Structure 1
């Protein structure tokens, strides 16, 4: 039976302008802003996040503004060859992994090119439009429009529209390499500029939907992000197929029945997901991480911000193998390896919360007692030849799982999700650092063999994470006896994880009518894991109630402090939410 699941959640913004929809309305507003400058020569900058469709903006917007000159920043930036030479140490030859760069956009313009652009603008009369990445490097704009785009949309354009990376000719390159270049180079650089000019932006332009742009003025945009940081909200989820993907989400969440499977669902990753801001009917879709950039203390909490900066540290996602197959056998990097090798600040600690299971559901977790690491790695390497099947039953523990079990997976622990399971993955945010050790000989959906990373994996495999360790420290069984952490009548609050080496703590709250929850001085991410629907409510009326359906993930900013979750379904049945927050060490 289909579950109610909101695929396009919105955040209603109060006390702001209406916004502008369509190129004609947008051009009219920009024309009014140009006239309001009350001078003859105007520079309009359209600063673009990587992946924005320049062709559409030029074709549909520029003619309505009638500029005397247009300047494309790419024409003044380093050449393709110069950019590649400069960043080759961070992009690397690896198909998947690079090194997180610290570049800023101004480092990719020669000084004489900047002076040339500024002179051309100065010598021009009337309206000059400067567009692309780095508009404020080569001009001093009178009006700044920021054209933004969430990372998931960029990834879809890599795949579906042969989108090139910035300053490349790689339209036909495979999606993994394009994503690597974005993740390790472009996006961080663009985010640094985004944060730098945040208070200068006069308009925010949403070009997510082809030929359907929307725009809001900068003041209303900044007011909206201030509101986001003070109310519970949901991200816009996205779903994708996988070689091991299942059928459960397709049926339960009313997804496209023509898609072969859905293996992934990301509904709690602000770096990748978007949020939809509703400005009195005008809907603006932006990267969710923008709210973290703008109000990190209010959203994350000051203690979390001081540990993680403007990185959102918790992520929730789904792994669906119901009717599918095993995930890859994998391990995540130890923190020092992640820092030294990839330049990331913290590593991909994980956990698997079992949302749905059958009698066939399993998890591979840790190695068997007395496993010899050299023998294990030798067999993994032998299996990559294609003439040998890795004997997983010889080395790796396999445990049956059931609904509401919770398994901690600190970095260094070999693991793999089995078939016929819906996993709610509750983890640290870095999600690009999975070292596949064995992938059952499969190719990807693109027909290319899926990459295996034994060279990276070997130094990170901890064979002391064996059967005894797993059973003693990593398993939280649904039928265990839990201490009740709650003093509220009729409430059972249970600590289900994560392992003490991981910075995330999770509490599961069981209730029939309602429960009051504290944020624990941290941003909270939650999911309704039992029951049909709830309302997330303010204790003092400071925000409107947020409806949540079974399986939906939502965020509660630290600034809320306390909130109530009320059962909106059958109060004769127990309801449960899983709450994750950063443990205050």
Structure 2
């Protein structure tokens, strides 16, 4: 078993879904050919004396290189395979190298690294890696192979981060610089704070040099295309509308709405708590030609064209896409933990992130009993609240949390504001669209209903971090006055009504909502700003961009309009009214 997950592996080919039906495998159509035969790749490199094959962590190199070698040998070529891992520093040395970024051993938090991939390698050993003069072709392969500096064609083998995590869970893939299986939480911490920043940065530097790009997520069919096709696809995507490829995960509080209503999800899964709709660090983007799919990381697009994507805020965020969309499903599920997120100075000084995790909850579905926990009750003080949390943690006894935290009924299309330091949680019975700034793991769980995680282990509780950041002044009427958005009409036409859903001053992004009447259209200029959209009521719309592309998007699908798209038109192709929300970075944003 090379992967452990309730989610299905992406197909080599996927049909377009009907109007109104959520598409699990959204892809950007390109005119260049995508291949699905390893023999075709062998044919294109067979004449070269040596080839460099770099790639992401988690690639099953033995399988891929074995298949490529067999294909080359069938063409009569004598092949030598040389793993770049021979030049890695010893594991103990790498462990010492990364230790300053791993945080406390029992903590899920580390610190963002400033290491580079070359730091994991012995430079002298890299120089000693040389082609085999007796072979017809030498394949230098592995994560970091291009560091050896060979003058040779470059293949890059990419792997989506969801599949990497599924492989790590199965024990078939390992973190950068180690061949031992780590505890799941330690492995993810190492990915988030060390491996991914290093490897995404390295991959970005290679984009101009790539001759062939390979999608390795399926271990018996590898799709690939030329580097020229990749770069042209990224260039076109940065000027048009697109979706990232979403993925889903269960959780201890997870619900059933997503699992039961999105076609193609595993109905045998216990639940689907999250959907990673737009979590830039973990999503991929798919290209399609003649039905064949090829996925690369979203980081590739941001590395290649972040200025075109982000526009006015590009030089502050650079390759870090600033806005996050994800689903939290508690329909027939449970409450999230009572939690808060770090203040800006705390996340910078403790974890090395340049800006913090400011959130909102947009309610997409709500049962009659649905609720949201938000802000403190009037007059709650730090000492008694801390004592109650610590006593519950020590004894395992439940807390009457509503003595301390306010609970509000949740209704469809409500927007709750959760700037940093705000105590909060989604209660049971909601399908939440979480519109947020990009950071997403800095959740300080302060109370978790005295339950175990989905893996049967205690969930990490961060009472000290939480108390260092939670804002007790957000209590009583202050919460209802400042943390529940009150829509106002901005514009009314024969075609649509535009509303402003104000966010908190701490949020660097804002939210608009559009009611687009049946058969009508909405034309918008980007004005050098990136817009993130979702259809939150109705069936589907078609988005026409200035480059002539016209693409359909369906209910609950998130789509992005890059700043460089210049202008676009949203056509309501449904029978009735559409409701859409748009998020964007404010003109007067501050980090």
Equivalent pair of 1:26/1:214 in contact (CA under 8 Å): no
Structure 1 unaligned residues grouped into runs of 5+? 35-41
Query: What stretches of structure 2 of length at least 5 have no aligned partner?
Result: 1-18
Measured after TM superposition, the shift of residue 414 of structure 1 is 0.6
Selected match of 2:281 from 249, 267, 271: 271
Matched, 1:428 2:437: yes
Q: Distance in 2 between matches of 1:439 and 1:55?
A: 43
Q: Does 1:30 align with 2:35?
A: no
Tell me the TM-score normalised to structure 2 length.
0.92
Mapped to 2, the partners of 1:462 and 1:435 lie a distance apart of 13
Equivalent residue, structure 2, for 1:550? 555
The Cα shift of 1:377 comes to 1.5
Match for 2:266 among 246, 256, 262?
A: 256
Question: CA contact under 8 A between 1:3 and 1:253: conserved in structure 2?
Answer: no
Query: Aligned partners of 1:161, 1:494: CA distance in 2, in Å?
Result: 49
CA distance in 2, matches of 1:516, 1:524: 13
CA contact (8 A) 1:3 1:252 kept: no
- Corresponding residue number in structure 1 for 2:28: 11
Give the superposed CA RMSD. Answer: 1.7
Is the counterpart of residue 578 in structure 1 residue 581 in structure 2? yes
Distance 1:583 1:483, change over 3 A: same
Contact 1:73 1:130 (8 Å CA) reproduced:
yes
CA contact under 8 A between 1:530 and 1:575: conserved in structure 2? yes
Structure-2 change in CA distance of 1:3 and 1:69 (3 Å): same
Q: 1:503 aligns with which of 508, 529, 552?
A: 508
Contact 2:373 2:408 in 1 (8 A): yes
Q: Which residue of structure 1 aligns with residue 87 of structure 2?
A: 76
2:101 is equivalent to residue 90 of structure 1: yes
Relative to structure 1, the CA distance from residue 563 to residue 146 in structure 2 (aligned partners, 3 Å threshold; closer, same or farther) is: same
Report the equivalent of 2:307. 297
The structure-2 alpha-carbon separation of the partners of 1:222 and 1:468, relative to structure 1 and needing over 3 Å to count, comes to: same
Task: For residue 295 of structure 1, give the secondary structure of its aligned residue in structure 2.
Answer: helix
* 1:484 alignment partner, SS class: strand
Contact 2:280 2:321 in 1 (8 A): yes
**Separation (CA, whole Å) in 1 of partners of 2:223 and 2:306:** 26
Aligned with 2:131 (options 121, 130, 140): 121
CA distance in 2 between partners of 1:256 and 1:111 (Å):
46
The separation in 1 between residues aligned to 2:128 and 2:567, in whole angstroms, is 56
Question: 1:187: Cα distance to partner?
Answer: 1.1
* 1:139-184, Cα deviation, whole Å (9 max, x unpaired): 413110011112122112112344221222432x332221111111
> How many angstroms does 1:216 deviate by?
0.8
Q: Is the 8 A contact 2:34 2:288 kept in 1?
A: no
Where 1:354 maps in the other structure, the secondary structure is strand
8 Å contact kept, 1:67–1:129: no
Q: Please tell me whether residue 143 in structure 1 is matched to residue 160 in structure 2.
A: no
Q: Could you say which residue in structure 1 is the equivalent of 2:573?
A: 568
Could you tell me which residue of structure 2 aligns to residue 399 of structure 1? 408
Rounded Cα–Cα distance in structure 1 between residues aligned with 2:230 and 2:534 = 28
Match of 1:287 among 297, 300, 305: 297
Q: Contact (CA 8 Å) 1:520, 1:581: kept in 2 or not? A: no
Which shifted more, 162-171 or 233-242? 162-171
Q: Output the TM-score relative to the length of structure 1.
A: 0.93
- Cα drift, residue 547 of structure 1: 0.8
Change (3 A) 1:392 1:182: same
1:449 aligns with 2:454: no
CA deviations 1:231-253 (Å, max 9, x no partner) are: 11111111111111111111211
2:567 and 2:64 map into 1 onto residues whose CA distance is 44
Which residue of the partner structure matches residue 99 of structure 1?
Answer: 111
Residues 106-255 of structure 1: pairs in structure 2 closer than 5 A:
106-117=118-129, 120-121=130-131, 126-171=136-181, 173-254=182-263, 255=265
The count of corresponding residues between Structure 1 and Structure 2 is 562
In the other structure, the counterpart of 2:16 is none
> Aligned pair in 2 of structure 1 residues 124, 428: CA closer, same or farther (>3 Å)?
farther
Identify the range of structure 1 (416-425 vs 269-278) with the bigger mean alpha-carbon deviation: 269-278
Q: 2:533 aligns with which of 520, 526, 543?
A: 526
Q: CA deviation at 1:392?
A: 0.6
Shift of residue 310, structure 1, vs aligned partner: 0.8
Q: How does 1:338-353 map to 2 (within 5 A)?
A: 338-353=347-362
In the TM superposition, structure 1's runs of 4+ consecutive aligned residues that sit over 4 Å from their partners are: 122-125
Distance 2:291 2:560 in 1: 23
In structure 2, the CA distance between the partners of 1:451 and 1:283, relative to structure 1 (3 Å rule), is: same
Question: 1:246, 1:322 within 8 Å by CA — same for their partners in 2?
Answer: yes
Match of 1:459 among 468, 479, 483: 468
**Could you tell me whether the CA contact under 8 Å between 1:505 and 1:583 is conserved in 2?**
yes
Please tell me whether the aligned partners of residues 396 and 450 of structure 2 are also in contact (alpha carbons under 8 angstroms). no
Task: Say if 1:408 and 1:497, in contact at 8 Å, map to a contact too.
Answer: no
Instruction: Give the match's secondary structure for 2:490.
Output: coil
